[in-house]
Amino acid sequence: MRGPLVMDIPTKKTPFVWQPLTPRGVGDFARASLSRLLLVQLVVAMWAAVVVVWFLNSAWFPAIGEAIHHLPPTGEIRAGSLNWDGDSPLTLADGRFLAFTVDLKHEGGVRSPAHVQVEFGKTDFQVFSLFGFASGEYLAERMPFNRPELEPWWGAWVEAILGIVALAVMGGLFVCWMALATVYAVPAWLLAFFADRQLNLRGSWKLAGAALMPGALVMTVGIIFYGLGVLDLVQLVVWGAAHFVVAWVYLVVSALSLPRRPELVAARSNPFDGPATEPAKAVIAAPSAKNDPPLLNG
């Protein structure tokens, strides 16, 4: 007579972790591998870099090109002083987002409604915005400040500058995410501990890193709205502050969406129930000599 047949019952597979858009999706990263988290963060960082490059290329760089085009044939910054042969004050470019002017004595002769205005004086430059102004001195020993030299230089380097900006955005996001995840990991672990959720410190760090991505995506939407004129500069700053709140909301809700700890679930079960059996395998008895139907045991 043949022995019993053992049939394995398939266990529940680990969910495929790929999206940080929902609290449950963020919570799944706590059980995912570190490489999976870094891969998704790379995709989000690349998207953020694309948005920043799009904004610079469509909002700021046209004003820079126009300002260079309106420079005189001669002029330079040498030994911390601007040698300028043109009129002063003078507007070089006046866009919605960025404006460039020359006012050698900073007399306030030209003011622009642009969100950011850069004004070149005799020995320093000033940057004006809705939040006030800042000034800085010319540090270069010699820098061209004329159309014949700057126009070909700008045309040759504009794409390289955009590439450098994209890499800087991606690298900066990864540094910020790692630093903030280290700070947010302990609060996430404490919250999960007191809420009886399955989460260790390593998982809380990955969950915190995943919870930062929705905020970054919200910030990219704000940059797009700002570039399209839906938001002004003040609203963009408020939007930027709100994206940190989004990260905390995802951190809390995602931690609370994790499964409960199994030992606590077993302790809270009905005490009159018998010991729980492990439904991992099922045994099928072999047919007997009398051709009895097989019996399912276990």
What is the predicted pLDDT for the residue at 167?
97
The yes-or-no verdict on residue 239 having pLDDT over 50 is yes
Number of separate domains in the chain: 2
Which residues are bridge partners to 167 per DSSP? none
Place of tokens 């009398």: 290
**pLDDT tens digits along 203-228:** 999 999 999 999 999 999 999 999 99
Residue 205 sits in the same domain as residue 238? yes
d(CA 240, CA 20): 19
What is the predicted pLDDT for the residue at 268?
54
pTM of the complete model beyond 0.75: yes
Residue 259 sits in the same domain as residue 163? yes
- Host domain of residue 131: 72-145
Q: What order of strands is seen across the sheet that includes strand 281-284?
A: 5-8, 281-284, 296-297
Residue 279 lies in a domain: no
Residue 294 lies in a domain: no
Residue 173 lies in a domain: yes
Q: How high does pLDDT run on average in the chain?
A: 85
**pLDDT tens digits along 23-47:** 999 999 999 999 999 999 999 999 9
**pLDDT tens digits along 241-281:** 999 999 999 999 999 999 998 766 555 555 555 454 444 44
What is the predicted pLDDT for the residue at 20?
87
The yes-or-no verdict on residue 161 having pLDDT over 60 is yes
**DSSP secondary structure code for residue 273 in this structure:** S
Residue 164 sits in the same domain as residue 50? yes
Which residues are bridge partners to 117 per DSSP? 99, 128
State the DSSP H helix or E strand holding residue 225, giving kind and residue range, or none if neither.
helix 201-227
Ramachandran angles phi, psi of 287, nearest 5°: -60, 140
Residue 272 lies in a domain: no
d(CA 114, CA 128): 9
Residue 136 sits in the same domain as residue 234? no
- Band the pLDDT of 295: cuts 50, 70, 90: very low
What is the predicted pLDDT for the residue at 88?
85
What is the predicted pLDDT for the residue at 108?
81
Go through 182-219 and write b for each residue having 16 or more CB atoms within 10 A of its CB, e for each that does not: eebbeebbebbeeeebebeeebbbbbbbbbbbbbbbbb
Burial (Cβ within 10 Å: 0-12, 13-18, ≥19) of residue 89: middle
The yes-or-no verdict on residue 133 having pLDDT over 90 is no
Task: Answer whether 188's CB lies under 8 Å from 258's CB.
Answer: no
What is the predicted pLDDT for the residue at 297?
44
Selected residue with higher pLDDT from 174 and 264? 174
In angstroms, the Cα distances linking 61 to 45, 68, 113, 124, 252 are 22, 11, 18, 22, 40
Residue 180 lies in a domain: yes
- Band the pLDDT of 87: cuts 50, 70, 90: confident
Residue 22 lies in a domain: yes
